[in-house]
Chains A and B, each alone.
Chain A
């Protein structure tokens, strides 16, 4: 009574693999980057005829070419990292906060509002403290609204936080309309002459304070997630809500607390963007970083230390792409194609880190 069915094993079978040794997984990633660069070279030669090596060196110069470029790169890196750190605790809790964009905007808006109304009528330090408090509060409120609905009625946080972004954009447009008498939709630099509420330059560097603040947040977040009781609770809730309930974690409280934290750091990013960088507010102040941050956070596996590296890769590619576009007189889209290819390979190689491909071997029939 033997089995009468032919078992044909599929040609390619994918199976999950146990953890790779760390160096092997990094080898996979390096190979991916090399392959991406080779593919990009082919495309560069085919489409433009330029020497790819030249293009790459220009790309590197986009970030490291001059000390000004280096500072701008570090500043962009700091802002992206800050927002990525903000979404990380929420993501670790499996709360899909894609509303960082809006939370950053309302934080910036609160900062701008305090700058606009108080002007130079206050001690500069006090003013900055009030601005900071206002931005943190605005970010917290914006994040707590969807968190509350999630905790209370289990609403879908992805849609909710996404829609809160549009509300935030409209709020910014609305206030710019009120603040700018001419009816122009551009805010202009706030307190251009008095520089009231501007974060000070330190050591003659405009962005250094921003960068130091984000560095401090990075270290704090790393420690918070890995060594604090609250960080542990976040992991447990994220891994299994049933386990969390079983050991008596108040899941609702953790959701609210964590989203409050997430919103607060987004608010801080808004504050740094308005007070420390642009000194103005527009509807695009967050500039899509709220979404890019999600990628940074995932690629960095929610580990603050690795996220420094992943946000660097992304900022480096963005800066480099812009540089190629101007230097070679190429369309910006062409530069985007190159960064797209590189990112695709970097993200795609994680598949090979987590899974292995089994090709069908010799024997044709299963037993």
Chain B
């Protein structure tokens, strides 16, 4: 085997007590595309950030063309001819494509923008990009911006390209175009690493696949000799038993009936595509999917925060026995209808709570309108704050501490506690245990289970498949904004869910 363009040996990276990467070794040859596959939080991006100089590994070595390399900053990476295309573009909006491409280059020569145009044109012709170098970034579509990012690293002479989930924001047609370009670059002898979790893309673009799971290196396969099932198994791993209690739902009735909702982003990318499901009282409906598959939009559409283009969200009111369509209603209108909807959003401090306010004032977010008159009544929220602190064992110096000072688990207890205190009939929770330690996580599971027993329709968006399978009654899997399947959590496997998760726009790429 010839010398690898880039080789990692025993890379380990820790953040505090969290191990993001543990003893990872992999290599890429020139003229090869390697896919890096793994679930959310499996350490893919951290690993790539170490190659591109954003982080520095705690242990392990990196070899470039056989020589040991020390990469301490992005500039070092550039000297080693490594270029990374991040998931979130790093471009100056008011500059043109060409200006962004040369930004930060200081080669000691006199700057001439016409030379830049000529070289950009050259690169475009060589690899088949279509871009107007004079166009300003803010006038560009997402895929054009991505093209600028790729040209930017090629302009700097990169021979090793890393793309972090490049297809997440693209339409299938744009993805096809991108893959065509990537193949040309491969044929030109570049080494390419592409981070993704869409299996069909892995199979269609890459030569080899390396799989990470929970920060650990699982193995590398030759793409031509593997299939979706094998890759899924490597990605999700063996079932781990968590012993979360689960009761049998009884007397369920349809509480929330969502039919055919559609919603597009401003760029015309489909965020939600014909999503239909029913949330029943007294059960936990899990929602599984790769991050960014439409989970947030779905919950926000139900909560009245996201406009939808078509479809309906019908709420069956258990008290009045009436049916109300929640579509395009504001959160206040929804509450005025008597819909007791609680929502634990993904962004706890940016949406669910106000970081700079204390616990009492955060309790008031839901209830401050109560009572007549123009003044606030802090007695009730104060009592609620005290109750939540003692019931959920929130660790805090007092009720007047700003919530941003609490630890992640305690912040979440405050938020979930408040949402449950509103005695909901529907409780939606997005990634409620993300970043929480084991004990706090179980506190949250217990709270959700308690709500289920009280006849609440619980919708739980999660990322850990083991948790979803043990906690939920039914699991809805979404991929690319579409429902790819609804399974019975008691009779499913991680592999089944994993396959459904990665079944986005299945097969469209190669046809």
Contact = CB atoms under 8 A, between A and B. Distances in A.
Interface in B357-390: 357, 361, 364-366, 368-369, 374-376
A4 B365 contact: no
Interface string B46-65: 00000000001111110000
Interface in A1-15: 1-5
Given A243-B351, A245-B305, 8 more contacts: A3-B57, A4-B70, A229-B368, A243-B350, A246-B352, A247-B365, A248-B331, A250-B330
B335 A248 contact: yes
Interface stretch (A108-116, A146-154, A200-208, A234-242): A234-242
B10 interface: yes
B355 interface: yes
A22 interface: no
Given A5-B72, A236-B354, A227 B375 contact: yes
Contact of B354 (A18, A229, A239, A250): A239
A344 interface: no
B58 A3 contact: yes
A232 interface: yes
A230 B405 CA distance: 26
Contacts of B345: 246
B351 A242 contact: yes
A314 to B, nearest CB: 27
Contacts of A5: 56, 70, 72
Contacts of B335: 248
B105 interface: no
A240 B56 contact: no
A184 interface: no
A228 interface: yes
Given A3-B56, A227-B375, A240 B350 contact: yes
A229 B375 contact: yes
B18 interface: no
24 contacts: A3-B58, A3-B59, A5-B56, A5-B72, A227-B375, A229-B376, A232-B376, A235-B354, A235-B361, A236-B354, A236-B365, A239-B354, A240-B350, A240-B354, A243-B350, A243-B354, A243-B365, A245-B305, A245-B331, A246-B331, A246-B351, A246-B352, A247-B365, A250-B332
A235 B357 contact: yes
Nearest to B367: A247
Contacts of A18: 405
B211 interface: no
Contacts of A2: 59
B347 interface: yes
Interface string A233-271: 001100110110111101000000000000000000000
A1 B8 CA distance: 12
B353 interface: yes
Nearest to A248: B331
B407 interface: no
Contacts of B369: 229
Interface in A191-236: 227-230, 232, 235-236
A232 B375 CA distance: 9
B356 interface: yes
Interface of A: 1-5, 18, 227-230, 232, 235-236, 239-240, 242-243, 245-248, 250
A230 B70 CA distance: 56
B308 interface: no
A18 B350 CA distance: 20
B303 interface: yes
Contact of A240 (B304, B332, B351, B368): B351
Nearest to B356: A239
A169 to B, nearest CB: 31
A278 B332 CA distance: 48
B159 to A, nearest CB: 23
Contacts of A239: 354-357
A242 B350 contact: yes
B343 interface: yes
Nearest to A6: B72
Interface in B305-357: 305, 330-332, 335, 343, 345, 347, 350-357
B365 A1 contact: no
Contacts of A227: 375-376
Contact of B353 (A230, A232, A243): A243
Contacts of B354: 235-236, 239-240, 243
B199 to A, nearest CB: 33
A247 B357 CA distance: 15
Contacts of B351: 240, 242-243, 246
Nearest to A18: B405
Contact of B361 (A3, A232, A242): A232
Contacts of B343: 246
B16 to A, nearest CB: 14
Interface in B97-113: none
B366 A247 contact: yes
B367 to A, nearest CB: 10
Contacts of B305: 245-246
A229 B381 CA distance: 14
Contacts of B364: 232
Contact of B375 (A4, A228, A235): A228
B352 A243 contact: yes
A245 B351 CA distance: 8
Contacts of A235: 354, 357, 361
B441 to A, nearest CB: 23
A121 B330 CA distance: 52
What 8 A-B pairs are tightest by C-beta distance, nearest first?
A248-B331, A248-B332, A242-B351, A239-B354, A247-B365, A246-B351, A228-B374, A227-B375
A318 B108 CA distance: 52
Contact of B61 (A1, A228, A232, A246): A1
A287 B121 CA distance: 57
A12 B330 CA distance: 50
A232 B332 contact: no
A229 B303 CA distance: 23
Given A3-B56, A5-B72, A230 B374 contact: yes
A16 B369 CA distance: 35
Nearest to B56: A5
Interface in B389-437: 405
A94 to B, nearest CB: 12
Nearest to A230: B374
B382 to A, nearest CB: 14
Nearest to A247: B365
Given A5-B70, A228-B374, A232-B364, A248 B330 contact: yes
